[in-house]
Amino acid sequence: MATIPTWLALFAPLPDGALIERKPVASPQLVESGQADAIAGWESITAYLSDPAGIRHVLITLDGNGTLIAGGDMVMLQRQEQRGRDVVNIYDHENVGGRFEEDGSFRGTRWLTHTEQIGADDENAHTTSLPSPPSEQDVASLRAIIDAVLKRAPRRSEGEPR
């Protein structure tokens, strides 16, 4: 089995080479059409990393004033096992995500999901998924990884609306 990188764990620090992108939530065409007035100026900042052992995705949403609206950290580990004649794909998915309220509180969910899939056939997959409220430590850790990503995120270009 391959060694799993340390960054491929929920709330772990991201490596220096992590790709972090900043994009508008709504396309310029949608904003110009007037159909996205409520989210004009909102931004999505993502950090996405992958490895043969799995993927990690941190997602942040800021409103038009740069205020943190929502965030999440997601990890999915993947591996294969041979069971008799069958190759079983196993996916262990863990994430915490939700909305940051104006009063500083957090409304979100922590999910643990386990899927076993025989071969490439989705019909031969079995998934269990357990939601739970995030702990205070989860929320503090999520805020810390969000702060770290925001510090490294590319800045807006000159002349871009705020």
Question: What are 46's two structure tokens?
Answer: 């993502």
What local confidence, expressed as pLDDT, does residue 111 receive?
97
The CA distance from 111 to 97, in Å, is: 9
Structure confidence by residue, pLDDT tens digits, 49-96:
999 999 999 999 999 999 999 999 999 999 988 888 888 999 999 999
pLDDT bucket at 142, cuts 50 / 70 / 90:
very high
> 38 by DSSP, 3-state: which?
helix
Structure confidence by residue, pLDDT tens digits, 9-35:
999 999 988 889 999 888 777 777 877
Q: Does the pTM exceed 0.95?
A: no
161 pLDDT higher than 70? no
Structure confidence by residue, pLDDT tens digits, 35-55:
777 788 889 999 999 999 999
Tell me which of 155 and 149 has the higher pLDDT: 149
Rounded to the nearest 5 degrees, what angle is found at the Cα of 94, between the Cα atoms of 115 and 19?
Answer: 115
What local confidence, expressed as pLDDT, does residue 86 receive?
87
Cite the beta strand spans of the chain per DSSP E: 19-24, 43-51, 54-62, 68-83, 86-100, 106-118, 125-132
Q: Over the chain, what is the mean pLDDT?
A: 89
What local confidence, expressed as pLDDT, does residue 32 receive?
78
